[in-house]
Amino acid sequence: MVQEETRKGPWTEQEDVQLVFYVKLFGDRRWDFIAKVSGLKRTGKSCRLRWVNYLHPDLKRGKMTLHEERLVLELHSKWGNRWSRIAQKLPGRTDNEIKNYWRTHMRKKAQEKKKAISPSSSSSSSFSSSSPTTEFTPVAENNERSFYDTGGRNVLANNIGKKSDFEVDMDDIWKDIELSEGNCKFSSCQTMASPIWDFCQDPSLWPMDKEEQNKMVLPMSDHFNYFTFYNQEMIG
């Protein structure tokens, strides 16, 4: 398909609002369609990512709680870099967020531990982003769906009953966390909903005024009747 010119880079607030609007109309599945129909010069892929990682109403924001940290550690030790799977166990957190978090916090932490334990083994790097072959099998236990799981392919985990090296360090890490637990004020780790969503949730904002409509890139007038109809059909 020839798309005139797709925008890249950071999303503007206006784009966010626009995307939320169309996702509300059409649901969070048909991303290419949404991308086209919304008038956003973004790919469906980009729209999905933005929604999943930033705009989804169930998203938590703010720091990971101790509990979440633990969970990430534990699940990563089980499943390796199956971020989406791990994210399913942390409501309100995205795979991207967990992935980032892991890279910055946990991996560093674990590497330090590793170093402390075996300073001689310079570059065994057994820990670094465990490859699929060293991962654990996810027990096929849950039918849960994470909020960001828009119903895509089922993740079939490869069932290899092997322990990752990382697990060896788990006890140490737990201890570490235990120690630091006293320092973490849970109240300060509170989360908040996506700000854009707050904005968009407010029904008073949906009937946009003229100025707002003009700001929108989308050809509102052309599609609006259809959308209104569609909206009623779909959302009820």
> Which positions lie near DNA, rule CB under 7 A?
1, 7-11, 29-33, 42, 44-46, 48-50, 53-54, 63, 81-85, 95-97, 99-101, 103-105, 108, 129, 148-156
Backbone phi and psi for residue 16, each to the nearest 5 degrees, phi listed first:
-60, -50
Nearer to DNA, 63 or 70 (CB): 63
Nearest distance from residue 221's CB to DNA, in Å?
Answer: 25
Query: What is the rounded end-to-end Cα distance, in angstroms, of the chain?
Result: 33
Among 51, 39, 50, smallest CA distance to 3 is for 39
157: three-class secondary structure by DSSP:
coil
Nearest distance from residue 63's CB to DNA, in Å?
Answer: 6
Nearest distance from residue 129's CB to DNA, in Å?
Answer: 5
Nearest distance from residue 141's CB to DNA, in Å?
Answer: 16
How many CB atoms lie under 10 A from the CB of residue 124? 11
| Helix spans in the chain (H) | 13-26, 31-38, 44-50, 66-79, 83-88, 95-101, 107-117, 170-181, 195-201, 210-215, 220-234
Nearest distance from residue 157's CB to DNA, in Å?
Answer: 9
Residue owning tokens 């999303």: 11
Nearer to DNA, 188 or 204 (CB): 188
Nearer to DNA, 52 or 203 (CB): 52
Nearer to DNA, 145 or 175 (CB): 145
Nearer to DNA, 78 or 82 (CB): 82
